[in-house]
Homo-oligomer: A and B are copies of this chain.
Amino acid sequence: MDNSLITKATIEEAHKRIKPFIHRTPVLTSASLDDIAGCRLYFKCENFQKVGAFKARGAMNASLSLDATVLKKGLATHSSGNHAQAIARAGKILGVKSYIVMPRTAPEIKKNGVRGYGGEIFECEPTLAARETTLAEVVLKTGATEIHPFNNYEVIAGQATAAKELFEELDTRLSSERGGGGIKPDFIIAPVGGGGLLSGTALAAKYFSPSTEVTAGEPAGSDDAFRSLKSGKIEQAQSQTIADGLLTTLGDKTFPIIKELVKEVITVADDEIIAAMRLIWERLKIIVEPSCAVPFAAVLKDKEKFAGKTVGIILSGGNVDLGKVGKFFS
């Protein structure tokens, strides 16, 4: 990866740029989850973020980085969910139109979120090809700028700010608990779909907490990142998982960063994801979506790796279609 593309300053500037428009989300802990996992967990709650997910960060940073004459023509993207809402919200805040291509199978709660921010939805078949074709048509017609959900350096720099905040918070908190300064978590773990959050998290660790090992959690039913790290090239994603935010394949901008900086991808089965999600709902009393529970499921799966360690977990989002919750728990 060409380090000059996203430097420490890039992330610091992104953070400064988006701060007025995002929440500094809380970091939660739970004695009972620590007991169950056998390590010390710090949950960065991006489910409390604007639009209910970390995606608000990257979308806002990319939109704010556009030239005024370009921005005026509007924003466009294809997304199955949270990024769609994030772009629609950015459009609303910046006073420009947003055009969102969504698979017709996307959860209703996410479509309603887009409409609530005044975004215009273009439905398409749930394939990457259909999404890209439809988006190309929309961009051609409107002159709007495409903001890719993850394969975009401004988006990656925006997502990096979640981990940056977690490191800042842990630095303060652990210092005061242990009476010293500059203590860093042993691990940070994020979910991986297209790799925007994971590559941002990895860059944040590199610049702000270099002793922290970066790990990823990925659904076994869409384990392209796991296979890509093994093979050394981008492998295609499957879509056999309930973690519907993590169905995408890595991009040519995210993969090189992940290849360089991420030590391990731990894959977890859907029943492990649901069990982890249930524990988070029950013990932390917060709503997280299935994709969001994947890193915690990974920690529970490989307890030996994390035993006795201090682990930061990025909880990515909380947009669940509650009408479908009954099928998760029994």
Contact = CB atoms under 8 A, between A and B. Distances in A.
User: Which has the most chain B C-beta neighbours within 10 Å: A287, A288, A330?
Assistant: A287
A109 to B, nearest CB: 7
A281 B322 contact: yes
Contact of A285 (B278, B286, B325, B326): B286
Contact of A281 (B26, B287, B326, B330): B287
Contact of A326 (B26, B47, B52, B325): B325
Given A109-B282, A281-B287, A285-B287, A329 B318 contact: no
Contacts of A255: none
Given A26-B26, A287-B287, A282 B322 contact: yes
A178 interface: no
Contacts of A326: 325-327, 329-330
B278 A322 contact: yes
A180 interface: no
A278 to B, nearest CB: 6
Contacts of A150: none
Interface string A264-285: 0000000000000010011001
A36 to B, nearest CB: 12
A323 interface: yes
Identical chains bound together, number: 2
Interface residues of A, number: 20
A47 B287 CA distance: 13
Q: Is the interface of A mostly helix, strand, loop or mixed?
A: helix
A42 interface: no
User: Which has the most chain B C-beta neighbours within 10 Å: A285, A323, A326?
Assistant: A285
Contacts of A226: none
Interface in A45-72: 47-48, 52
Contacts of A281: 287, 322
Contacts of A323: 329-330
Interface in A16-50: 26, 47-48
A185 B46 CA distance: 29
Interface string A162-181: 00000000000000000000
A22 B134 CA distance: 54
9 contacts: A47-B285, A281-B287, A281-B322, A282-B322, A285-B286, A326-B326, A326-B327, A326-B329, A326-B330
Interface of A: 26, 47-48, 52, 109, 278, 281-282, 285-288, 318, 322-323, 325-327, 329-330
6 closest residue pairs by CB, A with B = A326-B326, A285-B318, A322-B329, A285-B287, A47-B285, A325-B325
